[in-house]
Structure 1
């Protein structure tokens, strides 16, 4: 089975749960194990929150930029990409302290996914792309998986 979807979302906090619910619904419908779906949804929430917070220049009151979320389910793997139009990715040397209120999202994504890539959009036009993969496990009653 192979499927994908892509969302173009406003850089607003309300977009994060929307993307998360769509992913969870897709995974549930496809028959993905709930624990895997949960891990991916938390990682997606962190990536979207980064895009909302850091994904572009500040906007005038009432205006918002946009970011893109794309999810691919292909065979035994799910790949998720979150792309924004911000200043680009700057690597952080070490994780935030245990008491910090910010700065742990990228490390959480790395713990929840099997493979993670953080980078800048090609072409030098700015923007960050966070992509992560996870091997899927399926529920036993999965209707869409063929043996």
Structure 2
């Protein structure tokens, strides 16, 4: 299910694109790849072009959060949900899965062998990140926010 809603401008600055994108994906590696690709297309449509640093960083964050949802949050027969929101200064990424066990924790550089590095990358690339339990059903949402520079 795809939802594209133009969010109201919070800044009052004309010409600053704002928006919201949300879609469910199968909890498979293919679903994670599709989430990254569609996020990249949406970012470009919102004025964050493919060849800029912000685009590369944001698509990497989406890729890591989607891969974590598939690898660690997968429940057979259940999808994960990706939501993107952009205002004049910030892009927020939310990935929701249906698994309730486990608390998302960023690995330290010394324990990468056992736990991977996805959330460690997110921690270093995003300006803010955290997680919360899913309020309406089992699962959790991991979110990250990236503050755009003036030339993004």
Q: Which category of TM-score, normalised to the shorter sequence, fits these structures?
A: 0.7 to 0.9
Alpha-carbon RMSD = 2.4
Residue range with higher mean Cα deviation, 20-29 or 85-94:
85-94
Partner of 2:31: 15
Question: Per the alignment, in what secondary structure is the counterpart of residue 86 of structure 2?
Answer: strand
Q: How many matched pairs?
A: 134
Contact preservation (8 Å) 1:96, 1:102: no
Alignment match of 1:68 (pick from 71, 76, 81): 81
| CA deviation after TM superposition for structure 1 residue 91, in Å | 4.8
Please give the residue correspondences for 1:1-147 in structure 2 after superposition, counting only pairs within 5 Å.
1-32=17-48, 34-57=52-75, 59=76, 64-92=77-105, 94-95=107-108, 97=110, 100=113, 102-122=115-135, 125-137=137-149
Shift of 1:131: 0.6
Unaligned runs of 5+ in 1: 141-147
Task: Give the unaligned 5+ runs of structure 2.
Answer: 1-16
* Cα distance in structure 2, aligned partners of 1:91 and 1:81: 13
Q: Note the C-alpha offset of 1:98.
A: 6.4
Find the aligned partners of 2:62 and 2:80 in 1 and give their Cα distance.
13
Q: Give TM-score scaled by structure 1 length.
A: 0.78
Residue 70 of structure 1, CA deviation = 0.3
1:48 counterpart SS class: helix
| Kept in 2: contact 1:83–1:130 (CA 8 A) | yes
The whole-number CA distance in structure 2 between the counterparts of 1:18 and 1:41 is: 11
Give the 3 Å change call, closer, same or farther, for CA 92–82 of structure 1 in structure 2.
Answer: closer
